[in-house]
Structure 1
Amino acid sequence: MADIVDTAVSAGSFTSLVAAVQAAGLVDTLKGPGPFTVFAPTDDAFAKLPAGTVEALFNDIPQLTKILTYHVVSGKVMAADVVKLTSAKTVEGSEVKIDASNGVKINDATVTAADVVADNGVIHVIDSVLLPA
């Protein structure tokens, strides 16, 4: 198996996320032993952000890092475990809200694919970028 970064690269639908992880200097961390649970926004999710947002974040690495680490939870949390939770503490330090009453939502993002397993964790694909408060 591949690590989280290589899994995201090979999927082909996370080029914005991978570029952001590279820009923020988080590649080595996400290639580390983990395990990590990553709520991974697709390229379409990044495209839904207001015009100029992504470019602005690439010019503000501390803010970019904060947003990216808000998508990561320590440990390997599979979908069967996620649906039992109402929130999860992120690596960024604050919590995301989890609602499994009708599909699975992380804050306002819908999980579109779950349990993409990597050798150092798991990826759950989401349709929106999560923004910390």
Structure 2
Amino acid sequence: MPVYDYKCADHGLFYELAAMEDSSKPMACPTCATLCARVIMLAPEFLDMKKENRFAHQRNETAVHAPVLSTPEYRAEQKARREHKHGKGCGCGDKPIRKSNLLFTAEGNKMFPSMRPWMISH
């Protein structure tokens, strides 16, 4: 038989053994004997989880009830969101990557034509 969590309004949480078919039934508080509803507590490993994983679980839970279907309209909306909206020189990383001027000699030494000779790479 599993242990279920119950919460009394006056005395707080308590734990009781109950059969699985009785899991939804209220249980009497051991202190005041009032019937108390079952509560579902958060799993401790969920609290210790990395923030990124916790957000992924939260996103998956919301997607269970309202899944996003990949339709042409949805894809067009996502593409519009990805479009660059900043001005020139915003520094967001949308610039093309320059080709390096690094060359290697036959001996394996590095050579930087038209670059500053005092800059030595590691």
Which band: TM-score by shorter chain? under 0.3
Q: In proportion to residue count, which structure has more strand?
A: 1
TM-score normalised by structure 2 residue count: 0.21
TM-score normalised by structure 1 residue count: 0.19
Q: In proportion to residue count, which structure has more helix?
A: 1
Larger radius of gyration: 2
The one of the two structures with greater contact order (alpha-carbon pairs below 8 A, sep at least 6) is 1
